[in-house]
Amino acid sequence: MKLLNKLNIKFKLGVLFFIMCTSIALLSYKAIEVSEHNKETLRVVHSKSQDVLSLQDKIITPLYKLRELTQSLVIAPNSSIRDSIEKDLNFVIKNLDLEFKKLEPEQIKTLQMWQNYKSFVFQTEQYLKEEFQEGAYINVTTSSREQFALLIDSLLKTQSKFLNNSTIAYTRAVEQAKELKISILIYILFLFILATLIGWFVARNIINSIQIVQQGLNDFFSYLNHKKNSVEKIEINSKDEFHQIATSINTNVAIIQKNIQNNEIVMKDATKVLENIKSGNLGSRVTKTSNNETLNELKIMMNDMMENLEEKIQKEINQRLEQEQLLIQQSKLASMGEMIGNIAHQWRQPLAQISAIHMNMKITYDFDKFTKDYIDTKIKEANTLTSYMSQTISDFQNFFKPQGEKEEFSIEKACIDAYNILKSSLKYHEIEVTFNLIEDTQIFGYKNEYSQVILNVLSNAKDILIERKIENPKINIEIKEGENFAIVKITDNAGGVEKNIVNKIFEPYFTTRHKTQGTGIGLYMSKNIIERNMNGFINVINIENGALFTVKVKKVTD
């Protein structure tokens, strides 16, 4: 342990790293050795197995085929079939000659047996050519069969020998694998014990140092949190990096203690000044000075701030009032512009009809068919149209007229009123609007303000559908009742709001259109109306092919 105390942490960790690398290298070497051994074992076993398969496939099986062909040759009914069999028989004999020549020299006896059996086969062919059927049959069933049995017996013994060699090779490989496994386990056990012992000593030394430093820091943090009045020095006996850390911490803690005491004086002084500000007294100042530059800067900043705080507060209030007034004025102007545009759409068709009545009257007069009944009819038609136009003005006036008191009103009625303002404009631009009334609900608030919100959303949907030139433009208004809220969902098929601006569209003066086409305050005012005046919520999300605006306001409960 004394030796470890004199070593630095880098060296201690270096020793552990060296042991780790050595262990990995030894285990890797052994793994490679085992892999190479397994490859050699597999090669030997595969070679022995191939000898068995080769003997079976290339000699024994063809011999049985040769025997079968010889018997078929004897019993063949005519010379044509016999010629075909002889062709196959000679081909098999040729291949067997090649395979028997490949046998090892110690198998010369088996090769001699093959030569004898082949001579019997040729003898059978000769008998058949001489039309000595009885001799061919006797040859096949006696001498040839006995020689075939001897040859097959010899080959089976050779095959059994190959199988035995393969078994011996496999058994030897299993034994060697066990020996290697034991050797590797011994290596692993040795390296594990060595690494554990050295690692335990090194880790214990490092952990002890860490615990001492940690305890010293905990004491210091307790002091910072006013749980202790003083901090004890950190004492470490080793000469490693932790000793250097402890020395540095002790030095800095002493300096920090002194600075904290000075800073506490300044902060108490500043606290008194803030208490004076809270009570409305702006005449007090921070007078104490700290050795901390940040606190001194804070002191100067606080004193400077209090010099003109009252003036800035008043100025800010005035600016906010001006901005609010400007915002309201812009909202009124924007609403007025939209109102005029919608009135123009509402009046366009009646004016065209009145013009047509005048033209019809002129033509009738020119053809001298002007009668009292005719003029009465046309005047009645014109009066009907002008009454409709007058009613349109009244509807717009009532819609935009400020309300003095809150009232209970129908969500459906408020949405229909907003739709009627834009009805002609939507029809002119061939925008299909559908109402999906699931359940109407009564809410308490300013009906015209709520309708203004719906109008703003519908107007925005209309503008974006026109701007993007959407084919078959559609707007759907869904009205339903939730557990606590009356909900209106307005969707369109304009492609949705761009992802980078979807969180900004309710901000004041934010608009994606040219400044001559919009002020960017419609949705901002809508959000204020719903969330401030009616304690509700309004938001927007993108759906499959457009945008979904959701307006939720608390419903009237019994």
Beta strand pairing call for 442-445 and 485-492: unpaired
The contacts found for 513-521 with CB under 8 angstroms, 24 or more apart, are: 513/463, 513/467, 517/463, 518/334, 518/463, 519/330, 519/331, 519/333, 519/334, 521/327, 521/330, 521/331, 521/334
Higher pLDDT, 373 or 327: 373
Between 160 and 282, the more confident residue is 160
Q: What confidence score (pLDDT) does residue 542 get? A: 92
Q: Burial, 402: exposed, middle or buried (Cβ in 10 Å; 0-12, 13-18, 19+)?
A: exposed
Q: Give the closest residue to 549 by CA, choosing from 518, 527, 528, 521.
A: 527
pLDDT of residue 517: 45
7 vs 267, higher pLDDT: 267
Give the mean pLDDT of 216-238: 69
Q: Which residue has the higher pLDDT, 298 or 501?
A: 501
Dihedral sign of CA atoms 107, 109, 110, 115 in order: positive
In the predicted structure, residue 317 carries a pLDDT above the cut 80 = no
The pLDDT-based confidence of 420 (bands split at 50, 70, 90) is confident
Higher pLDDT, 205 or 419: 419
For 112-116, 397-401, 417-421, which range has the lowest pLDDT when averaged over its residues? Answer: 397-401
pLDDT attached to residue 519: 47
Q: Is the dihedral of CA 187, 188, 193, 198 positive or negative?
A: positive
Mean residue pLDDT of the chain comes to 76
For residue 14, give the DSSP letter: H
Domain boundaries, the chain: 24-187, 303-401, 404-558
Q: What tokens appear for 375 in the block?
A: 């003029």
The pLDDT confidence band at residue 292, using thresholds 50, 70 and 90, is: low
Model confidence at 306, pLDDT cuts 50, 70, 90, reads low
Tell me, what DSSP letter sits at residue 509? T
* Range in 141-145, 166-170, 443-447 the model is least confident about: 166-170
Q: Give residue 118's pLDDT.
A: 84
CA distance 203 to 205: 5
* pLDDT, tens digit (0-9, with 9 covering 90-100), for 342-373: 566 556 656 766 777 777 777 777 877 778 88
pLDDT number for residue 518: 46
**pLDDT at 338 > cutoff 70:** no
pLDDT exceeds cutoff 90 at 146: no
d(CA 524, CA 520): 7
Q: How confident is the model at residue 400 (pLDDT cuts 50, 70, 90)?
A: low
Q: What is the pLDDT of residue 172?
A: 77
Determine the topology of domain 404-558 in CATH: Heat Shock Protein 90 (3.30.565)
Contact yes or no for 475/494 (Cβ under 8 A) = no
Share of the chain above pLDDT 70, in %: 66
Q: Give me the pLDDT at residue 75, please.
A: 81
Q: Could you tell me the fold of the domain covering 24-187?
A: Four Helix Bundle (Hemerythrin (Met), subunit A) (1.20.120)
Is 44 a residue whose pLDDT tops 70?
no
Mean pLDDT is highest, among 78-92, 369-383, 507-521, for 78-92
What is the pLDDT, as a whole number, of residue 493? 94
Mean of the pLDDT values across residues 193-217?
Answer: 74
Residue 508 has pLDDT above 50, yes or no: yes
Higher pLDDT, 330 or 340: 340
**Tokens at 256, concatenated:** 């920090």
DSSP letters for 141-203 = HTHHHHHHHHHHHHHHHHHHHHHHHHHHHHHHHHHHHHHHHHHHHHHHHHHHHHHHHHHHHHH
CA within 13 Å, CB half, 25:
6
Give yes or no for residue 278 having a pLDDT over 90. Answer: no
Q: What per-residue confidence (pLDDT) applies to 67? A: 82
pLDDT, one tens digit per residue, over 442-492 is 999 888 888 888 988 998 899 899 999 999 999 999 999 988 899 999 999
